[in-house]
Amino acid sequence: MRAHVLEVCTRLVADHGLDGLKLDFLDDATGYADDGGDPVGPAMALLLGDLRAALCALCPRGPLVEVRQPYAGPGMSAYGNLLRATDCPADATANRIRTIDAALCAIGGAVHSDMLMWDPGASAEAAARQIQSVLHAVPQLSCRIGELSQEHREVVTFWLRQWRRLRPVLLDGEVEPGRPDELYPLVRAHAGDAQVVVAHAERPVPLDLMRHPRADLVNATAADGLVCVVRHAPLRATLTTYDARGRVTRSGPHTFAPGAVRLDIPPSGLLTVRPHD
């Protein structure tokens, strides 16, 4: 049986010039755990090891192998390099939790969201929150671009552009996902002089503008502003806010005083903070 699976998988890659495979439903093998045969775990490890070696021979640059929750974890890092959230279409909260959980278990590799989708009649703000929920992972869209409304196309264009711009911080920076008992309400990341905070709930947002003066704050809530707590003030900065569709709503200088300040940010919008020239 193992030889048959290996032959089928390698033939698919070789015949179609694929870069790798998605390995799904591996957890279903546990159904054979009590059938009186050999242990399932070592047999699965042998299969995956042989498959990895065969795919490496077919893909000189290294194969892409996707594994899914709930069997994605540190033990799978030897076999897969793409960790995918389990199915949660149109559920922004579940996608956020599952991608963060997968990232915390990952040893290298990339974490992919489950497919993003939303009601075609939803507001631009609701559509944007689907993408904002997985900015700290690799977003995967499952919508037909040509069938989207003009507003939704603007949402997708703007937020995917922001993800590409912020990717070095969100994916390769130091990430602080916050409190799991509150479903990760603030996801923070920083690298060099840049910081990104994605607020999924109305919580005070700490901003260290001395160490990370280039800040991007995503308001992934339905509120029209967020409370930020700034240390090492007073500080001069240039603030620019965008709505969910990427339209500039405000731009100009601002002086931060010490302590808490409420900043106007459109629902599902973005605030950029840049050092004032």
pLDDT tens, residue by residue, 185-200: 999 999 999 999 999 9
* Contacts for 123 with CB less than 8 Å, ≥ 6 apart: none
Place of tokens 């509120």: 223
Taking residues 192-217, what's their average pLDDT? Answer: 96
**Per-residue pLDDT, 72:** 66
Q: Token digits for 149?
A: 């409304």
Give the H or E element holding residue 245.
none
pLDDT at 30 over 70: no
Give the predicted TM-score (pTM) of the model.
Answer: 0.89
What is the chain's mean pLDDT, rounded? 90
Q: How far apart are CA 66 and CA 71, in angstroms?
A: 11
pLDDT-based confidence at 75, cuts 50/70/90?
Answer: confident
**Per-residue pLDDT, 39:** 76
Taking residues 218-224, what's their average pLDDT? Answer: 97
Taking residues 3-23, what's their average pLDDT? Answer: 91
pLDDT-based confidence at 112, cuts 50/70/90?
Answer: very high
**Per-residue pLDDT, 148:** 94
Q: How far is CA 60 from CA 24, 41, 53, 167, in A?
A: 23, 28, 11, 26
pLDDT tens, residue by residue, 238-254: 999 999 999 999 999 99
Strands 214-219 and 269-275 come out as: antiparallel
Q: How far apart are CA 161 and CA 140, in angstroms?
A: 14
Q: What are phi and psi of 230, to 5 degrees?
A: -115, 130
**Per-residue pLDDT, 36:** 63
Q: How far apart are CA 59 and CA 9, in angstroms?
A: 13
b/e code 38-54 from CB counts within 10 Å (16+ = b):
eeeeeebeebbebbbeb
The more confidently predicted of residues 48 and 25 is 48
Domains of the chain: 2-174 (3.20.20.70), 185-275 (2.60.40)
Place of tokens 């993800």: 163
Taking residues 247-273, what's their average pLDDT? Answer: 96
Lowest mean pLDDT across 2-6, 60-64, 65-69, 140-144? 65-69
Asked whether the bond before 70 is cis by omega within 30 degrees of 0, the reply is: yes
Tell which residue, 132, 175, 123, 121, has the closest CA to residue 113: 132
**Per-residue pLDDT, 55:** 92
Taking residues 206-228, what's their average pLDDT? Answer: 96
**Per-residue pLDDT, 209:** 92
Number of other CB atoms surrounding residue 234 within 10 Å: 9
